[in-house]
Amino acid sequence: MASDMIINHQEKAHALLKADADKILKLIKVQMDNLTMPQCPLYEEVLDTQMFGLSREIDFAVRLGLIEESDGKVILDQLEQELSILHEASLKK
C-alpha cells in the first residue's frame, strides 16, 4: 500500500513538472507569434524566469525523492530543444 502511494506521488510529480514545461512552451509560442521577437529583452526575461522556476521545481521534486535527477534533466532538455526549434523557426519568418 505505501509503495503504491509513493509511486502515485512520483507519477503525479512527473506529470505536474511536464505540464509546467508544456505551459512554458505554450507561453513562448504565444509570445513569439503575437507579441515580441526573440531578440526582445522582455522575451529573454520571461524565458529565463520561467526556466529558472521550472528548474527549481525539479530540484525540489528530486530532493523529495519524487523524481530521479535524470528524469528532471530530460524534462529540461526536451523543453530547451523545443524552444530552440521555435526560436529558429521564428527567425526564418
Question: Which residue from 81, 10, 90, 83 is spatially nearest to 50, judged by alpha carbons?
Answer: 83
Question: Which residue from 54, 62, 44 is spatially nearest to 79, judged by alpha carbons?
Answer: 54
Contact predicate 54/21, CB 8 Å:
yes
Q: pLDDT tens, 16-32?
A: 999 999 999 888 887 77
The CATH architecture annotation of domain 1-21+39-92 reads: Orthogonal Bundle (1.10)
> Whole-prediction pTM value?
0.80
Confidence of residue 93 (pLDDT cuts 50, 70, 90): low
Q: Mean of the pLDDT values across residues 58-66? A: 94
